[in-house]
Amino acid sequence: MKLTDETAVIPELIRRHLDIFMCPVCGGRLKVPDDHSTMECAACKRVFACDQGIPLLFWPTGRSSKADVTDLVKAFYEETPFPGYDDLDSPESLRAKAENGVFARLLSGQIAHGSKVLECGCGTGQLSNFLGLTWGRSVFATDLCVNSLRLGHAFEEQHGLENVCFVQMNLFRPVFRPEVFDFVICNGVLHHTADPFAGFQALLPSLKKGGFVVVGLYNRYGRLTTDIRRLIFRVAGDRLTSLDPRLRTETLNDARRRAWFRDQYKHPHESKHTFGEVLRWFDQSSVEFVNSIPKCVASESFSPGERLFEPNPRGTAVDRAIVQAAMLLTGGREGGFFTMIGRKRA
Ligand SMILES: C[S@@+](CC[C@H](N)C(=O)[O-])C[C@H]1O[C@@H](n2cnc3c(N)ncnc32)[C@H](O)[C@@H]1O
């Protein structure tokens, strides 16, 4: 069947991998009708619309509205999608930006050919689009914020990245079948949810046994300097933004500056976590610790040639306390962020 506007329909990558999708409400099989305009559940018959190539598979978490922060967080990011794309107008500029941060370069270089990758809470999808610049993998970028997804999808479409697609999804209501992904990445997201541990557990069913989960979170100690700056801004107003090292030193345009400032200092909901806490999450969820940034052992440092997915020691409580104290002392340029990598046990 000839379709008039290929950009407005369910993307080809999704149609090709339809067997990995499920209904966020009942877990039934999803179908795409002949005109490719929607996704429909074969079991409960719900129809999910498609917004210019983005299937809208979001479904509410289902907590009492008091405990849940999903709507609040969604409204926040719909107003200011994060991070901004403004000065990224080509695959080359995206690659240059991503490779500036060692982690994204290592990640992309170490994801095996043929892998299926899920990013939960992709925001504007810069990491997913960067990963999609490498041929031979399939990247599924999901977030609850449609305005963010639109920016990611526009970049992907404009530059013909055929192995990346964007889907609206609440990570607490996954739309993917069990054990389909080799990598699940959730960077800077769980600390903006009402129940980060439950969010972590919700990432795992769609990960294959032996697959890797990558989780980035705010650190309780590393984030203290940001907390202090937030207090200062509250008392003194927003004039002293140069106290933030990123706002002070980087040549960010106004939109990116605003997105960073709001995300760091005006967020309606964030929590902070420790290495020990995430190791407990791993232990309780049959996930084996593999690696972290920074390293869990104080005497070891993260190298530019790091093998991300090779096992590392988890350190002692004292080791991890020293590492977190060092994060505090170095001032948390990235907002006191740490990343943990685990492997789902067979
Ligand atoms: C700080 S941004 C991080 C974006 C991106 N991962 C990055 O590192 O640049 C947090 C993102 O998490 C998304 N998010 C928060 N709660 C979510 C949920 N329950 N399901 C899916 N996405 C969620 C927000 O919409 C937002 O885009």
Q: How confident is the model at residue 80 (pLDDT cuts 50, 70, 90)?
A: confident
The answer on pLDDT for 191 being more than 90 is yes
Q: Give residue 250's pLDDT.
A: 62
Is the previous residue joined to 196 through a cis bond, with omega within 30 degrees of 0? no
Q: How confident is the model at residue 63 (pLDDT cuts 50, 70, 90)?
A: low
Q: How far is the CA of 188 from the centre of ligand 1 (A)?
A: 7
Note the pLDDT tens digit of each residue in 233-262: 888 777 777 788 878 766 677 777 888 888
Q: How far is the CA of 192 from the centre of ligand 1 (A)?
A: 7
Among 123, 133, 157, smallest CA distance to 12 is for 157
Q: Give residue 194's pLDDT.
A: 94
**Cα(132)–Cα(91) distance, rounded to whole angstroms?**
10
**What global pTM score does this model have?**
0.94
Note the pLDDT tens digit of each residue in 81-99: 888 777 777 999 999 988 8
Q: How confident is the model at residue 3 (pLDDT cuts 50, 70, 90)?
A: very low
For 102, residues 6+ apart whose C-beta sits below 8 A from its C-beta are 302, 304, 306
**Which residue type, as a one-letter code, is found at position 318?**
V
Residue owning the nearest CA to atom 13 of ligand 1: 121
Among 262, 235, 277, 206, smallest CA distance to 73 is for 262
For the chain, the average pLDDT equals 91
Note the pLDDT tens digit of each residue in 336-346: 899 999 999 99
HSE-CB of 5 using CA atoms within 13 angstroms: 8
Q: How far is the CA of 193 from the centre of ligand 1 (A)?
A: 9
For residue 338, the 8-state DSSP code is E
**Domain formed by 6-218, architecture:** 3-Layer(aba) Sandwich (3.40)
Q: Report the residue among 74, 144, 184 best suited for mutation to probe ligand 1: largest number of ligand atoms under 8 A from its CB.
A: 144
Least confident of 3-7, 29-33, 79-83, 264-268: 3-7
Q: How far is the CA of 139 from the centre of ligand 1 (A)?
A: 16
Q: How far is the CA of 268 from the centre of ligand 1 (A)?
A: 13
Mean pLDDT of the region 303-310: 93
Query: What percent of the chain stands above pLDDT 70?
Result: 95
- In the chain, which residues fall in CATH 3.40.50.150? 6-218
Q: Report the residue among 143, 215, 256 best suited for mutation to probe ligand 1: largest number of ligand atoms under 8 A from its CB.
A: 143
Handedness of CA 193, 223, 313, 110 (dihedral sign): positive
Among 306, 305, 303, 297, smallest CA distance to 326 is for 297
**Cα(179)–Cα(166) distance, rounded to whole angstroms?**
20
Pocket of ligand 1 (CB under 6 A): 70, 73, 77, 82-83, 120-123, 143-145, 148, 170-172, 187-189, 192-193, 263
**Cα(37)–Cα(51) distance, rounded to whole angstroms?**
9
What is the distance of C-alpha 169 from the center of its chain?
12
Is the previous residue joined to 294 through a cis bond, with omega within 30 degrees of 0? yes
The answer on pLDDT for 334 being more than 90 is no
Q: How confident is the model at residue 1 (pLDDT cuts 50, 70, 90)?
A: very low
**Which residue type, as a one-letter code, is found at position 126?**
Q
Among 152, 137, 168, 147, smallest CA distance to 10 is for 168
Q: What share of the chain is helix, strand, coil (3-state, %, to 5)?
A: 35, 20, 45
Provide the β-strand partners of residue 40. Answer: 31, 47
The answer on pLDDT for 170 being more than 70 is yes
Q: Give residue 2's pLDDT.
A: 40
**Cα(192)–Cα(117) distance, rounded to whole angstroms?**
22
Alpha helix (H) residue ranges in 187-341 = 196-203, 224-236, 245-249, 254-265, 275-284, 317-329
